Amino acid sequence: MVEILECRTLVKLLVLCHLIFSVAVSKVEGRIRHYRWDVKYEYKSPDCFKKLVITINGGTPGPKILAQQGDTVVVELKNSLLTENVAIHWHGIRQIGTPWSDGTEGVTQCPILPGDTFIYKFVVDRAGSYLYHAHYGIQREAGLYGSIIVSVPNGVSEPFVYDYDRSIILNDWYHKSTFEQATGLSSIPFVWVGEPQSLLINGRGRFNCSLLATPSLEARVCNMTNPDCSPYILTVIPGKTYRLRIGSLTSLSALSFQIEGHKMTVVEADGHYVEPFEIQNLYIYSGETYSVLIKANQNPSRNYWMTTNVVSRKPATLTGLAILNYYPNYPKKSPPTLPTAGPLWNETAQRLAQSLSLKAHKNFTHTPPLTSDKVIVLLNTQNKIDGVYRWSLNNVSFSLPHTPYLVALKENVNLNRIFDQNPPPENYDFENYDIYGVAENVNATSSNGIYRLRFNSTVDVILQNANTMTVNNSETHPWHLHGHDFWVMGYGTGKFDIKKDVGKYNLVNPIMKNTVPVHPYGWTALRFRADNPGVWAFHCHIESHFYMGMGVVFEEGVEKVGKLPSSVMGCGETKGFHSP
């Protein structure tokens, strides 16, 4: 207002006036998007099998968060789980200036106790498609997840056009509770979670109840006519273009997604615009999001199948189904065809090719720093520690401390009582490691030590895959970094060659992402700037793999972090502790 009044008196300085006025306008802050969520257990039948699932305000997936770039999202989260803690992570939101709102139990906050209400507050600083999910134990797979859609600021346009915007979350689904699964994963003898019972599209799947022995307790809770498990229906108007925002939050499975008779054009990945390319199958790994455009240009007198199926592991799960309904056909009318089979599960080359074809859009390229200050090679191996199967990086399997790192480091409490002060190894001798041999890893240890990065330095991470403890087997691991987007510098097969492969990095138009796959027997290289003060998890997004130690933690500029809210404290060494 003051500027505007002054302008009136300075009529001659029209140009300057206009300038000041526009600065004043652009300073207008985003809106507050306020959500009140109640998290609790309820009986639901997402795939026709009734079990206890975690709902938000009665639903799984939970409510969609809709915001515009620059808005502040406030989620008032009430934990009504009665006998279980909770924490929610905002996957893909960098939490610039609010690292305590990242929602990572053990890293950025204490868990939220039953009956407590915790307030998450953060700015969504970049348009795009993101996710949220539980980040406590393996609670995500109990159904606590959803999507975050951030639209572009008014007057800003995207490098593609469409008529309607829809979102799809893919998931895999287990009938056993998270408690049974977590117990199995930490017991001797070890009990693996196995393949999922079904695949869900927007929280709906179908388990073939007739597979259960009748009469049995299980058969009694399986009902294929339950409306919870009727397929998701996407209704389209012939001739229109749809933007589908597709995210995956599977516990285990890598997926392929396809729409019968329709090509998809990939335009966005993890909040970044992609140089568009057309595909028939979208390969999507847990923690990734993509926007694809589809045109409703097929014969409008019928409906079409949308399908998702497991890739990379030998599938033991039925294809997940949804219906693409051409208006005005009856929405539930089954397509006249059999659901299309997906690609072969073990076509690793095709998946690698799709990873390689993701490039930054030519008008939205952020060029990476040309060199890095530090290179961390993480050799991904499976091994056993004290008789229990674990995953290790450079022979160290990660475990979470009881006191969150962020609180410990920021408040300078007695650090060596909280976590191992020895950093994990950076220069493991992976060059002499046989990535094709069955892993032995006799000297693997477990630790909660972290990497402390120099603030503003540029860090390269090379994820090197290897054989598991099973002959001729190497898995796909989707790695997710909190608090950052990284440049995807390259992918390769076999062992990373530090002399030759660095020279092949894409320094021109690498896509930026927050989650990236490391393919079987392959490597993936990424680069990021350690410029976001806080403590950030970097881990395999397979729920059981992270639980089994497949992760590391980075600290950067923790001394620059603002005053922590006391709501993130209260556990471990922070008991009764309050920021001065």
Which residue among 246, 249, 376, 542 contacts Cu ion (CB under 5 A)? 542
139 or 394: CB nearest ligand C2O: 139
Shortest reach from residue 405's CB to ligand C2O, in Å: 14
Cβ neighbours for 252, distance < 8 A, ≥ 6 positions apart:
172, 193, 195, 196, 286, 313, 542, 543, 544
178 or 380: CB nearest Cu ion: 380
Shortest reach from residue 95's CB to ligand C2O, in Å: 12
Rounded Cα distance between 282 and 189, Å, is 37
Rounded Cα distance between 221 and 216, Å, is 9
Q: Pick what 545 binds: Cu ion, ligand C2O, none; C-beta below 5 to 8 Å, kind-dependent.
A: Cu ion
537 scored as a contact of ligand C2O (CB under 6 A): yes
CB 17 within 8 A of CB 7: yes
Which residue among 135, 204, 477, 513 contacts ligand C2O (CB under 6 A)? 135
484 scored as a contact of ligand C2O (CB under 6 A): no
CB 67 within 8 A of CB 125: no
Question: Would you tell me how many other CB atoms lie within 10 Å of the CB of residue 574?
Answer: 21
Cβ neighbours for 326, distance < 8 A, ≥ 6 positions apart:
235, 236, 238, 296, 298, 300, 301, 302, 303, 304
133 scored as a contact of ligand C2O (CB under 6 A): yes
CB 144 within 8 A of CB 44: no
Shortest reach from residue 192's CB to Cu ion, in Å: 13
285 or 304: CB nearest ligand C2O: 285
358 scored as a contact of Cu ion (CB under 5 A): no
477 scored as a contact of Cu ion (CB under 5 A): yes
Shortest reach from residue 482's CB to ligand C2O, in Å: 6
541 scored as a contact of ligand C2O (CB under 6 A): yes
Cβ neighbours for 464, distance < 8 A, ≥ 6 positions apart:
377, 378, 379, 380, 430, 435, 495, 496, 518, 523
Q: Pick what 477 binds: Cu ion, ligand C2O, none; C-beta below 5 to 8 Å, kind-dependent.
A: Cu ion
Binding piece for ligand C2O, criterion CB under 6 A, among 173-181, 203-211, 460-468, 534-542: 534-542
Binding piece for ligand C2O, criterion CB under 6 A, among 118-126, 197-205, 333-341, 536-544: 536-544
91 scored as a contact of ligand C2O (CB under 6 A): yes
89 scored as a contact of ligand C2O (CB under 6 A): yes
CB 259 within 8 A of CB 244: no
Shortest reach from residue 366's CB to ligand C2O, in Å: 22
Cis peptide before 189 (omega within 30 of 0): yes
253 or 258: CB nearest Cu ion: 253
Shortest reach from residue 330's CB to ligand C2O, in Å: 38
- Sign of the four-CA dihedral 153, 154, 157, 161: positive
Nearest to 379, CA basis, from 287, 501, 482, 461 = 461
CB 71 within 8 A of CB 30: yes
Rounded Cα distance between 502 and 511, Å, is 17
From residue 259, give the alpha-carbon distance in Å to each of 301, 350, 545: 16, 18, 30
482 scored as a contact of ligand C2O (CB under 6 A): yes
545 scored as a contact of ligand C2O (CB under 6 A): no
Shortest reach from residue 104's CB to ligand C2O, in Å: 6
287 or 517: CB nearest ligand C2O: 287
540 scored as a contact of Cu ion (CB under 5 A): yes
248 or 403: CB nearest ligand C2O: 248
Under DSSP, the state recorded for 416 is G
CB 173 within 8 A of CB 196: yes
Shortest reach from residue 312's CB to Cu ion, in Å: 11
By CB under 6 A, how many residues form the interface with ligand C2O? Answer: 11
Q: Pick what 541 binds: Cu ion, ligand C2O, none; C-beta below 5 to 8 Å, kind-dependent.
A: ligand C2O
287 or 339: CB nearest ligand C2O: 287
287 scored as a contact of ligand C2O (CB under 6 A): yes
Rounded Cα distance between 21 and 19, Å, is 5
Tell me, letter by letter, the H, E, C secondary structure of 135-174: CCCCHHHHCCEEEEEEECCCCCCCCCCCCEEEEEEEEEEC
Pull the structure tokens for residue 357.
């074809």
Which residue among 404, 545, 547, 555 contacts Cu ion (CB under 5 A)? 545
Q: Pick what 527 binds: Cu ion, ligand C2O, none; C-beta below 5 to 8 Å, kind-dependent.
A: none
272 scored as a contact of ligand C2O (CB under 6 A): no
Rounded Cα distance between 115 and 85, Å, is 9
104 or 256: CB nearest ligand C2O: 104
DSSP 3-state assignment of 131?
A: strand
91 or 206: CB nearest ligand C2O: 91
By CB under 5 A, how many residues form the interface with Cu ion? Answer: 4
Question: What residue ranges bind Cu ion (CB under 5 A)?
Answer: 477, 540, 542, 545
Question: What residue ranges bind ligand C2O (CB under 6 A)?
Answer: 89, 91, 104, 133, 135, 287, 480, 482, 537, 539, 541
